[in-house]
Amino acid sequence: MIRKIWILTLLFSGVAAHADISVDFDHAQGSLEFHAIGRPSALKIVGKSGLPKGSLILSQTALNGALLLDLNGLDTGIELRNRHMKEKYLQTQSFPQAKLQLLSLGISPESLTPGYEVADAPFTGKLLLHGIEKPVNGKVTIKRSENTVAANANFQIKLSDFAIDVPSFMGVTVADIVDITIAVQSPINQTGPTRP
């Protein structure tokens, strides 16, 4: 699953207030994690995967782009649990990827100059998981240098919203709510003016 959305760190260079900024996740570094709580033992289950693929573009008035998340790459540290998660619950043979489309980021583009930091900025998007698309929202922390941006995004999903059975493994049942975090550090590109 998908959680830390460092994603939206499409930052404006200070001298180009009218330029689009793009972040290409195919060339980024970082991680994707989900955190779930098992009951009745309060066991914490952590799954990790590689970074999403895709790109994002931020202009003066809009945020565009989508991220593809490899569900087959998720690893919880226990091989049997991994197999149950992918085959029985996520059904990755039919739904190998999730797609996160980002719709808005609650920051001022003019503020995103080198050296800028922002914590807990709100974002909204749509998540396609297990063949079902639902709105999602969360918070992102962003830090920009001259040529790179680092971001850490967090959001929650409810498994039952995506017709995913609540997982149970060796007497431990996972809570319906799962936390997702995406952490990323990426170079940024100025893609050109949005208007004369």
**For residue range 101-110, what is the model confidence (pLDDT) as tens digits?**
888 888 776 5
What number of H helices and E strands is found in the chain? Answer: 1, 12
Residues 75 and 119: their CA atoms lie apart, in Å, by 28
At residue 13, the pLDDT reads 32
**Across 118-123, average pLDDT:** 89
State the pairing for strand pair 148-158/177-193: antiparallel
Helix (H) or strand (E) holding 112: none
Instruction: For the beta carbon of residue 78, count every other beta carbon within 10 angstroms.
Output: 13
**For residue range 179-189, what is the model confidence (pLDDT) as tens digits?**
999 888 888 77
At residue 190, the pLDDT reads 60
At residue 19, the pLDDT reads 54
- Which domains does the chain show, CATH number per domain? 19-190 (2.40.128.110)
| CB within 8 Å of 15: residues ≥ 6 apart | none
At residue 156, the pLDDT reads 97
147 forms bridges with which residues in the sheet?
none
